[in-house]
Structure 1
Amino acid sequence: MSNVYYQEKFEDRHNGPSSAQVDDMLRFLGVNSLDELIEQTIPAPIRRKPLNLPKAWSEVAYLDKIAQIAEKNKVFKSYIGQGYYNVVVPGVIQRNVLENPGWYTQYTPYQAEIAQGRLQALLNFQTVVSDLTGLEIANASLLDEATAAAEGMFMLYSARKNKDANVFLVSPTVFPQTLDVLQTRAVPFGVEIRIAEITASNLSDDVFAAFVQYPAADGTIADYKDFTEAAHAQGITTCVAADLLSLTLLTPPGEWGADVVVGNSQRFGVPMGFGGPHAAFFATKEAYKRNIPGRIIGVTSDSNGEYALRMALQTREQHIRRDKASSNICTAQALLAIMASFYAVYHGPEGLKNIASRIHDLTKLADRAIQALGYEQSNASYFDTLRFKVGDQIGALKAEALDNELNFYYNEDTVGISIDETTTFEDIQTIVKVFAKIKGISQNDLDLAGLTPELQSVIPDVLVRTSPYLTHPIFNSYHSESEMLRYIKSLEAKDLSLCHSMIPLGSCTMKLNATTEMVPVTWARFGGLHPFAPADQTSGYMQLINELNDWLCEITGFAKMSFQPNSGAQGEYAGLMVIRAYHESRGEAHRNICLIPASAHGTNPASASMAGLKVVVVKCDDRGNIDVEDLRAKATEHAADLNALMVTYPSTHGVFEEPIIEICRIIHENGGQVYMDGANMNAQVGLTSPGFIGADVCHLNLHKTFCIPHGGGGPGMGPIGVAAHLVPFLPNHQVVSVSGEQGISAVSAAPFGSASILVISHAYIAMMGGDGLTEATKIAILNANYIKARLEEHYPILYAGANGRCAHEMIVDCRTFKSVGIEVADIAKRLMDYGFHAPTVSFPVAGTLMIEPTESESKPELDRFCDALIAIRQEIAAVESGEVDQKENVLKNAPHTAAMVTADDWGRSYSRQTAAYPLPYLKANKFWPSVGRVNDSQGDRTLICSCPSIEEYAEA
């Protein structure tokens, strides 16, 4: 047959094992086909019919198709502002970070020894935020500005001195999307959002905190120093949403007493992307360091006494604290925070101030020129935003602006104009000509050539920044492109990513992020759109979102998706709030009991708590499965108040539990709804589905199952799919309507969450097609069972299904090794010497490793990983036999750095060869951890979360 009909299939590139490798693994498992393995793994009653999706596209065809879709987006010059601005992404950062799998395929830095590069970049981010806001401590990013503000509200509410106070006083000039999310988050806790002028006279006894925007949404700048002092005198705290770039010119809120400062770092070189992803920031006082939500990067030392970094104070996280956690978020926007930090490093303090000053000068220029035409400008003081009163001419002005491909912000009879980094003098001329035409002034009558900014400042003297910032050498050393490139690469070299080896994390699904899926993300027609752009400019995005909606509904068996939640935990929260609204619509607002199995992911109880629900834990049996009789008893007991069951499927233990349909039926019979956690959807696609099983709502981790990269700990997307009866309650948005009148208020800042990265999942589904997606699920299950079969002769495997099969992941029990002093952490650190990231450690069972290989890894890579774990088991056996000392051995000293192995003084009871090259493959491909074992307890005792000088570090 001629090859003229042959077309390369993307599926063959995405799935790791070749057909011959698949046959070898099947023979090893003792089955004749993939279908036979699936029959042994997935209960027959939940098997669904084949997916009805469009035929798979080739990579070339997809890029051509998505380019046509992108052409439907109109990228006008945006002066809308409201927290989103055009930026210049430095090419050295775009090429070497955003487009570099060495940065975007990394996992969350839980294994610090092989994550020092991104930890340093995130520490740099914290330093930028802390310095510019004037506060002592900052975290390593949150999801977006609106949810960061909500986290600030919740933290201050929890820490309030007057426990009877329940009012959050909010300025009327905050961003509308922020107010929307605040109102959503306030409901479950009975917090009253009171919109009122920020004056001392409004500080009543029932107020626990106040919230202001600085500069305000309308562009004005106000001095809140006296207000903050008055609030503190009454035991009331203050939260400020600030523009990070403006703080190079304005007095930082920390200097006038703010307790919390939140905002968005998008202006630091991250495209608008129709709303995201962008790294929000959260800064606060030292007193709140154990309450601050999100991740904190801290400075500590390694086993050699050298400088090292780690994620600090992890005991605050929901995986440990569960429903008592300070927040439910288990992700961040690490990749975007890293980009923002590199932007600050590249430009330095002077460069940032120059950019801000240029924006401010062009704003003053526009102000003077348009006022000269006879328009009234409302803002006496401002940074980058002007408001012009145009009265009944607003319609004509809008039409003329659109004719010139300009987007302004319109509010009744005023026009807002926000200037940004990309604005030029010629852009100001175009804006002025638009305003002039409405006045009947022709272009020939305008004299713009001699316009220059007024010298006098419009920033009040009391609000002009005088304090230094970004004085650390990191921000003053890498301003040429060659120096910046080398700095980026020096950090990248310290991190293990999917570029080096498989990352076998259970529950986290670290699968291929194909280049073709990533390419369109950086196109201007996706990156350059403001989330509030007029609808007729966004038809390309709408086509992409609608197609993805239809495809995911087919995959999940649901009626509709909401793409607003921009993380898995946000999806959980959104789903529970939708269920809450559904019960309320039926006159059953009292339903507040949430049943959660003991095996559940830690975000489940944390999300339930945030949604105002009372968690009742359901027992699991000795095999790790939900105890159906305990579930039935508790559902019956709480039938009058049952809100929902939160269930993960396959289970967190990596098993397709046989009675899942019965479990859903029990909940429905007792008046509740079934929320399915989609963390393990990679084992369902094409073979079963949440809707078919009987769930009412499920969130999807697009950064797991649907190929959006983890980015070193974020971005993520957690859209929710719902059954038909819940569709009316999907999240809406105050600025852009995306749901019906019954829809809950917004859960994220942007109408479609982190919209620009939806193209990745769209590409994945389009290029795989229904058959390809189903095959990928089968291969994921095959790969997991192959690892299980190879390891179970050496390690106990905790749980399995009725036929002895696991789903897409399995749990390796390491608890028996404690008897000879070997902890699961020792195995995790020793794996680094073999060139691997550890599997998930001590979750969901303490002292275990949870392994998930995904479908993207080939048999040779699976074998290499198994060989490493088997070799480590032999090293443990040497300790068990007494051949090796329990305290002085290769596991306890792991990982071994190049500096340790090449030191003049070795002094170990084992050879350098054993330490560094325990298996032959390492001779050809060795990844060296950059630091020895990190001292966790020291980092928590002496918390340093910004870049210290050598002197400061030594002193600490």
Structure 2
Amino acid sequence: MSSNVTSTQSVSLSQLEQKEGFIRRHVGPSDSEINTMLETVNAASLDDLIAQTVPQSIMLPNGIEVGESYTEVEALAQLKAVAQKNKIHRSFIGMGYYDTHVPNVILRNVLENPGWYTAYTPYQPEIAQGRLEAILNFQQLTIDLTGLELASASLLDEATAAAEAMALSKRVSKNKKANLYFIADDVHPQTKDVVQTRAEMFGFGVVTGPAEEAVNHNVFGALLQYPTTTGEVKDISGIIADLQSNKAIVGVAADLMSLVLLKSPGEMGADVVFGSAQRFGVPMGYGGPHAAFFATRDKYKRSLPGRIIGVSKDTRGRPALRMALQTREQHIRREKANSNICTAQVLLANMASFYAVYHGPEGLKTIAQRIHRFTDILALGLTQKGVTLAHNHYFDTLCIQLDNSQEVVSKAYAQGLNLRADLTGAIGVSLDETTTRDDIDNLFNVILGADHGLSVDALDLVITQSGSCSIPESCVRTSDFLTHEVFNQYQSETEMLRYIKSLENKDLSLNHSMISLGSCTMKLNATAEMIPVTWPEFGQLHPFAPLDQASGYQEMLSELSDWLINITGYDALSMQPNSGAQGEYAGLLAIQRYHESRGEGHRNVCLIPSSAHGTNPASAQMVSLKVVVVNCDENGNVDLDDLKAKAEEVGDQLSCAMITYPSTHGVYEQTAREMCDIVHQYGGQVYMDGANMNAQVGVTSPGFIGSDVSHLNLHKTFCIPHGGGGPGMGPIGVKSHLEPFLPNHAVVNVASAGENCGAVSAAPWGSASILPISYMYIKMMGSAGLRKATEVAILNANYVAQKLGEHFNVLYKGDNGRVAHECIIDLRPLKEASGVTEMDVAKRLNDYGFHAPTMSFPVAGTLMIEPTESEALYELDRFCEAMICIREEIKKVESGEWGSTDNPLHNAPHTLADICDSEWNRSYDRQTAAYPVESVARNKFWPTVNRIDDVFGDRNLVCSCPDMESYRDSE
């Protein structure tokens, strides 16, 4: 007993507190495991390993300063106190953002469920059939409500979807000589802002005016809003037809809930229809994340931006889902890609699709009719009292003309109501599914005075007796929607719960096993980080609410920005870009604006290494930069001589260079500083891709190395989960000379942004509601914890490289034989000797319970492995065991023991249908197929379909929900 007391007393209080800290929860390996791995890689300590790996010239002399680490309890308590400074008013602002009821069955089982939010993009569809089905439902929802033939798997937000619609219009319009785009003046102001910014960079002219005047201009395309930003519902079919007769492509920004009652834009003739699905059960969250829907005609499918989920078949002939056509197309087509989009809003699209499944068509009609009925009641009461409405036809929004509009707005604020206040001589009031009778009475009070004498019930009776005529007869929806079985059988919570769970069971996520995707950094998304996302203090704020109601948000944004500035070595930061690709675009936009401010707008060449992420050249083309490719040497490093030669050749045409560091090949290049110096010598700017930031934090920084701007993938390095393919956040850090060129916003002025700089996303601070995740991560890790995370990420990668290097060729290493945070193994010699492909290895890993590493990028025929710091030694060894066993299986194919097609690699992944097949006639047994090593049997994950036929899926493109009988017939 006494020895135990002595032992306890020998540990200080600070040491005990440290043991209960978050760092040891986030960093997977224990201290003893770290020592074991250090011994394996022949390093004396983590410091020794870093000294061997990172060039001394770029090592931070003093580290980073983001404070001490906090425990989970402390950090949550502090953030809760900050969140409570936000004032949650009833929002009637509208403008594309509405309060909504998130069904609790979806809140708990999707948004708060790691089985859904930790999944990766479904590039390995055999282990992603659940979320693929949910996204396919989203596409079907979009197709049905828009009245068009083809829908995508979601875009980032309504405004950027509008910009993509403009780009599509230019690609497909037959009015080839036109370079002018029309934007109706009743489009949401934030949408105009984003589209005008994109048009300027593309070199398009923009003209605005009443929608009816669009036909008077020679345009390649036009953008209309339905209903308009002030709420008017009008038949736009004539406008559309007139524009199309002049070979223009017509895009319509639509409100998804209104389309439940309104004639679809597709039926009116629209070529493209898009908008936000936010009000289908996704919180406003101060601007995001929200899924944008996007639909177009089938004949434009090759020009559709983003991803499409298609129906194909597996090797057993069963229906199976996968990403079609656009899958990673920016990596293949690079600067010729349709867009630079590599992040969808899958988690939020899933929520919206589940919302539609849960309510079904009749439930949605009830919700939409109730919203419209309340709007009718409000309109009738106001007009009875002599108030003038700007429009007689509406769905949920009234534009109320008042001589004392600002006085009414102020009065409303004082009573906890937010009204739209940016209209001249008028206010806007938008209702939603959360609106109550009390809300209508309170609106009467602030607009008419407390003695208004109106009764909601009496007004409702009048409308019942006289009927509503606020939707024009030509705009009333008569077509059916959501007739597919999936939207008509899960209306009880029991059935909905089981449906969600059945889909979750089909998907491999981080709650099953490590996901070792190179360049994608699938690390722990800790529960303590995720908890604040669904706090109402963060979820229920409208992005255009007065800033004094968002002081908690502003405080959090400010502190997080300061931390990220310190971590990156930059001077300023913009939180607006809501994906990594958007960050690239915003960074290049800042560079071009900087050059123009100096009278050097002629600089239009972007140097990009051949190994770069495909989004780099795709982003460059979005700001009209000419891409010049810089070669890499045999070690995968940027060829410094070629960089010098290309920079000298383009001379004063050089705008910038885009560099990834550590390199895309997973190596700390020794010449990073020299690369920056060369570009600066010729007057260019250096854009450093933030994809590999997880190998920099606390050790070096892009600003210290010498770059001018970077985006940060908060959904990678800073723990925002991937959500099955999004959300993402891509804020940009810049040096001081670029700060005046950060994106601003047409509705809410961003104090730290450029005065005359247009927006790149719909909301001023991007997807603000997921920023608490990164805030909590940094708060709980502190300066020392963040550096340790980087060190252990590097250790884990070198450990895997060491273990696998005895069986595979590790393609690239640094000067001391070290890799950075990821390593590339070369399968090309094995493919040549055995015929086994990288695809075979990727699918066989599914049988071992793992998601495949990044395949054939940046080098064809390779696998790029990034284990991250969150994986413990046990999981690393389990993954290495799987890869080594697969290597032994390849040897059996090489030797001829197994045939070229009769082997477990070629037939992978194996499903229960295979194992239970009575006609098993393969040269390997069922045990080898399904349970190749003992650890698999402990927690077997079963792929639900066999290998999918991609070619069949693209040749027979089906992107809507197949009839349920097609599944039954294949069983």
- What are the superposed Cα offsets for residues 326-377 of structure 1, whole Å, 9 maximum, x if unpaired? 0001110000000000000000001011100000000000111122222111
Structure 1 residue 876: Cα displacement: 0.2
Structure 2 residue identity aligned to 1:272: M
Structure 1 residue 203: Cα displacement: 1.9
Give, in whole Å, the separation in 2 of the partners of 1:456 and 1:597.
62
Pairwise mapping of residues 404-803 of structure 1 onto structure 2 (< 5 A)? 404-410=415-421, 411-437=423-449, 442=451, 445-452=453-460, 454=463, 455-738=467-750, 739-803=752-816
Question: Conserved in 2, the CA contact under 8 Å of 1:276 and 1:754?
Answer: yes
Give, in whole Å, the separation in 2 of the partners of 1:371 and 1:856.
62
SS of equivalent to 1:623: coil
Instruction: Find 2:109's aligned residue among 96, 113, 116.
Output: 96
1:148 and 2:157 are equivalent in the alignment: no
SS of equivalent to 2:211: coil
Structure 1 residue 821: Cα displacement: 1.4
Instruction: Find 2:822's aligned residue among 795, 804, 809.
Output: 809
- What are the superposed Cα offsets for residues 769-796 of structure 1, whole Å, 9 maximum, x if unpaired? 0000000000000000000000001000
Number of the residue aligned with 1:260: 272
Pairwise mapping of residues 852-891 of structure 1 onto structure 2 (< 5 A)? 852-891=866-905
Give, in whole Å, the separation in 2 of the partners of 1:950 and 1:513.
35
- What are the superposed Cα offsets for residues 283-304 of structure 1, whole Å, 9 maximum, x if unpaired? 0000011110000000011111
Q: 1:841 to 1:741 in 2, by over 3 A?
A: closer
Give, in whole Å, the separation in 2 of the partners of 1:480 and 1:315.
35
Structure 2 residue identity aligned to 1:430: N
Number of the residue aligned with 2:5: none
Structure 2 residue identity aligned to 1:349: P
Structure 1 residue 196: Cα displacement: 1.6
Deviates more, 1:470-479 or 1:156-165: 156-165
Number of the residue aligned with 1:12: 24
Question: Conserved in 2, the CA contact under 8 Å of 1:17 and 1:859?
Answer: yes
Give, in whole Å, the separation in 1 of the partners of 2:158 and 2:873.
43
Give, in whole Å, the separation in 1 of the partners of 2:84 and 2:440.
27
Structure 1 residue 395: Cα displacement: 2.9
- What are the superposed Cα offsets for residues 842-898 of structure 1, whole Å, 9 maximum, x if unpaired? 000001000000000000000000000000000000111111111211100000001
Give, in whole Å, the separation in 1 of the partners of 2:871 and 2:418.
46
Number of the residue aligned with 2:170: 157
Structure 1 residue 744: Cα displacement: 2.3
User: How many matched pairs?
Assistant: 950
Structure 2 residue identity aligned to 1:521: V
Structure 1 residue identity aligned to 2:694: N
Question: Conserved in 2, the CA contact under 8 Å of 1:703 and 1:709?
Answer: yes
Structure 1 residue 640: Cα displacement: 1.1
- What are the superposed Cα offsets for residues 909-956 of structure 1, whole Å, 9 maximum, x if unpaired? 100000000001112110000000011000000010010214678999
Question: Conserved in 1, the CA contact under 8 Å of 2:257 and 2:279?
Answer: yes
Give, in whole Å, the separation in 2 of the partners of 1:618 and 1:666.
13
Question: Conserved in 2, the CA contact under 8 Å of 1:316 and 1:325?
Answer: no
Number of the residue aligned with 1:24: 36
Number of the residue aligned with 1:399: 410
Structure 1 residue 162: Cα displacement: 2.1
Give, in whole Å, the separation in 1 of the partners of 2:130 and 2:88.
35
Question: Conserved in 2, the CA contact under 8 Å of 1:316 and 1:326?
Answer: no
SS of equivalent to 1:310: strand
Structure 1 residue 154: Cα displacement: 0.3
Give, in whole Å, the separation in 1 of the partners of 2:924 and 2:386.
84
Structure 1 residue identity aligned to 2:75: Y
Number of the residue aligned with 1:892: 906
Question: Conserved in 1, the CA contact under 8 Å of 2:91 and 2:419?
Answer: yes
Number of the residue aligned with 1:839: 853
Question: Conserved in 2, the CA contact under 8 Å of 1:165 and 1:205?
Answer: no
Number of the residue aligned with 1:108: 121
SS of equivalent to 1:147: helix
Q: 1:447 to 1:156 in 2, by over 3 A?
A: closer
Number of the residue aligned with 1:229: 241
- What are the superposed Cα offsets for residues 236-275 of structure 1, whole Å, 9 maximum, x if unpaired? 1100000011101000000011000010000100000000
1:929 and 2:943 are equivalent in the alignment: yes
Structure 1 residue 204: Cα displacement: 4.3
Structure 1 residue 667: Cα displacement: 0.4
Question: Conserved in 1, the CA contact under 8 Å of 2:284 and 2:541?
Answer: yes
- What are the superposed Cα offsets for residues 412-444 of structure 1, whole Å, 9 maximum, x if unpaired? 21011000010011111111111222xxx526x
Instruction: Find 1:132's aligned residue among 145, 157, 164.
Output: 145
Question: Conserved in 2, the CA contact under 8 Å of 1:80 and 1:408?
Answer: yes
Give, in whole Å, the separation in 2 of the partners of 1:457 and 1:344.
27
Pairwise mapping of residues 259-408 of structure 1 onto structure 2 (< 5 A)? 259-314=271-326, 317-391=329-403, 393-408=404-419
1:118 and 2:131 are equivalent in the alignment: yes
Identical residues among aligned pairs (%): 59
SS of equivalent to 1:536: helix
Question: Conserved in 1, the CA contact under 8 Å of 2:517 and 2:866?
Answer: yes
Give, in whole Å, the separation in 1 of the partners of 2:923 and 2:479.
54
Number of the residue aligned with 2:55: 43
Give, in whole Å, the separation in 1 of the partners of 2:387 and 2:756.
40
What is the TM-score of this pair, normalised by structure 1?
Answer: 0.98
- What are the superposed Cα offsets for residues 298-323 of structure 1, whole Å, 9 maximum, x if unpaired? 00111111110000013671011101
Number of the residue aligned with 2:227: 215
Instruction: Find 1:57's aligned residue among 49, 70, 88.
Output: 70
Q: 1:446 to 1:288 in 2, by over 3 A?
A: closer
Structure 1 residue 818: Cα displacement: 2.2
RMSD: 1.3
Structure 1 residue 457: Cα displacement: 2.7
Question: Conserved in 2, the CA contact under 8 Å of 1:131 and 1:470?
Answer: yes
SS of equivalent to 1:261: strand
Pairwise mapping of residues 163-174 of structure 1 onto structure 2 (< 5 A)? 163-174=176-187
What is the TM-score of this pair, normalised by structure 2?
Answer: 0.97
Deviates more, 1:156-165 or 1:338-347: 156-165
Give, in whole Å, the separation in 2 of the partners of 1:202 and 1:913.
67
Q: 1:260 to 1:809 in 2, by over 3 A?
A: same
- What are the superposed Cα offsets for residues 152-209 of structure 1, whole Å, 9 maximum, x if unpaired? 000111112122101111110000000000011101222111102222x542463111
Q: 1:496 to 1:448 in 2, by over 3 A?
A: closer
Question: Conserved in 2, the CA contact under 8 Å of 1:275 and 1:530?
Answer: yes
Structure 1 residue 451: Cα displacement: 2.9
